[in-house]
């Protein structure tokens, strides 16, 4: 079988250079002479003859002023033997006046023989790649968030492989620092949210599901809300890579929190409302059933409230309710829940509180109310009293309805017995 003739080494090398569309250059360190091939000149819109005689000085004059010193410094380091190659990205002026991005690489032919003073290398035109990067960067800067790529390696270590410039606005951290030290991003997350963020990342990695997390960051003494969204994928070596965006949601979160607060708050007194109290009681009952926890509930009612409204008007009546709510709030624990559940009706949930302790709390509230100075529109003081019923959860109560019914029974009994008193559940 006939074999095709083998190409000479020179022809094979030229074929490789033609295939890569690389320009070549050779620089004589002694004379400053520079030899370039046709492709080198073509990248800049020239014929080789137009650049003759080609010298290092002419080469430098074609370079962008902002790139010259950096390129010189990198070449000097290579010539001193500090780097195995010269490697630099520079801009060179095209014949038509615009700039082309060139990736230039080179090496001294023999750093062990001082008689050989040539440095040879290649030029690759990466203008298209740079333009694509620039467009992507402009796109990233136009988006309302930080674009990033986050990588979790097989050994569990992690880091960022890309972070957009918006990280400065959002985190006060330049992309270079985030790439070098990923903890710089995590360090500004509010401590109470950090565990939640890590857990959400681990869950996304485990289930290969979308990562979505809301968390707070502390920046220059200010707390901001952030939301991160990213889609994970595995690469060929098993690394998990998330491509996503982080946006600031402080205003939205504040609105959500305010709407949530309004939905569970009594508008007049600022206490919780009936809706929130019922939901909290359901949760408390579930815990009591599961963990055999004890808790008590006090039902309270302002005595003769209708007479207050009739005597001094609804504005004074409203002020009485506001002041009474303040008496209650000031004398309960942080773990207790106080709610206005009706016109002049209130409920207090006392977690981990026995019947005896709840009775003491109720009596203290009754006495504090009776001592309080309430005033009408003429600033005249008058006394307000209240009645209450105490119920402690036990196995005999099957539901929240039964619990509240028992509270009402005790409260009505206090009213029947003359008001300004507390009736305690018969349960131990």
Q: How far is CA 64 from the centre of its chain?
A: 40
| Collapsed DSSP state (helix, strand, coil) of residue 209 | coil
| Collapsed DSSP state (helix, strand, coil) of residue 122 | strand
Question: Is 344 considered catalytic here?
Answer: yes
| Residues with Cβ within 8 Å of residue 423, at least 6 apart in sequence | 388, 389, 390, 410, 411, 413, 414, 417
**Phi then psi dihedrals of residue 126, to 5 deg:** -110, 25
Closest CA to 231 of 210, 201, 214, 203: 210
From CA 266, how far away is CA 321, in angstroms rounded? 11
Cβ contact 268:321 at 8 Å: yes
How far separated are the first and last CA of the chain, in Å rounded?
107
Catalytic option among 26, 222, 344, 356:
344
Q: Strands (DSSP E) along 186-263, which ranges?
A: 211-219, 222-234, 240-248
From CA 194, how far away is CA 422, in angstroms rounded? 47
From CA 360, how far away is CA 367, in angstroms rounded? 11
**Phi then psi dihedrals of residue 21, to 5 deg:** 55, 45
| Collapsed DSSP state (helix, strand, coil) of residue 351 | strand
For the chain, state the CA radius of gyration: 39
From CA 228, how far away is CA 151, in angstroms rounded? 15
From CA 134, how far away is CA 207, in angstroms rounded? 35
Closest CA to 120 of 245, 26, 48: 26
The residues carrying an active-site annotation are 344
């Amino acid at each position: 079988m006939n074999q095709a003739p083998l190409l000479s080494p020179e022809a094979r090398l030229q074929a490789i250079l033609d295939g890569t569309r690389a320009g070549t250059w050779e620089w004589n360190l002694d004379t400053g002479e520079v030899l370039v091939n046709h492709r080198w000149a073509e990248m800049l819109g020239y014929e080789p003859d137009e650049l003759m005689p080609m010298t290092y000085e002419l080469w430098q004059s074609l370079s962008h002023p902002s790139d010259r010193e950096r390129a010189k410094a990198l070449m000097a380091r290579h010539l001193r033997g500090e780097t195995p190659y010269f490697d630099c990205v520079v801009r060179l002026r095209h014949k038509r006046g615009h700039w082309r991005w060139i990736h230039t690489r080179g090496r001294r032919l023999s750093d062990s023989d001082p008689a050989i003073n040539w440095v040879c290398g290649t030029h690759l035109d990466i203008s298209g790649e740079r333009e694509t990067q620039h467009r992507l960067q402009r796109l990233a800067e136009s988006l309302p968030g930080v674009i990033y790529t986050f990588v979790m390696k097989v050994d569990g270590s992690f880091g960022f492989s890309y972070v957009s410039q918006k990280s400065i606005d959002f985190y006060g951290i330049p992309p270079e620092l985030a790439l070098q030290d990923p903890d710089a991003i995590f360090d500004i997350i509010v401590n109470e949210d950090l565990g939640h963020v890590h857990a959400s990342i681990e869950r996304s990695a485990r289930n290969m599901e979308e990562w979505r997390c809301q968390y707070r960051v502390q920046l220059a003494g200010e707390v901001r809300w952030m939301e991160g969204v990213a889609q994970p994928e595995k690469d060929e070596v098993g690394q998990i890579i998330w491509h996503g965006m982080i946006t600031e949601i402080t205003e939205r979160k504040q609105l959500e929190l305010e709407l949530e607060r309004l939905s569970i708050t009594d508008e007049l007194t600022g206490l919780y409302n009936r809706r929130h109290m019922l939901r909290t009681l359901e949760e408390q009952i579930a815990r009591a059933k599961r963990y055999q926890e004890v808790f008590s509930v006090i039902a309270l009612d302002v005595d003769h409230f209708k007479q207050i409204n009739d005597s001094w008007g609804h504005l004074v009546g409203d002020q009485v309710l506001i002041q009474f709510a303040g008496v209650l709030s000031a004398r309960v624990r942080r773990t207790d829940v106080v709610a206005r559940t009706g016109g002049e009706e209130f409920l207090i949930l006392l977690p981990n509180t026995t019947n005896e302790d709840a009775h003491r709390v109720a009596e203290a509230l009754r006495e504090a109310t009776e001592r309080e100075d309430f005033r009408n529109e003429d600033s005249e003081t008058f006394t307000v009293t209240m009645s209450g019923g105490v119920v402690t959860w036990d196995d005999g109560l099957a539901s929240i309805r039964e619990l509240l019914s028992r509270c009402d029974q005790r409260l009505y009994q206090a009213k029947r017995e003359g008001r300004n008193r507390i009736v305690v559940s018969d349960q131990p």
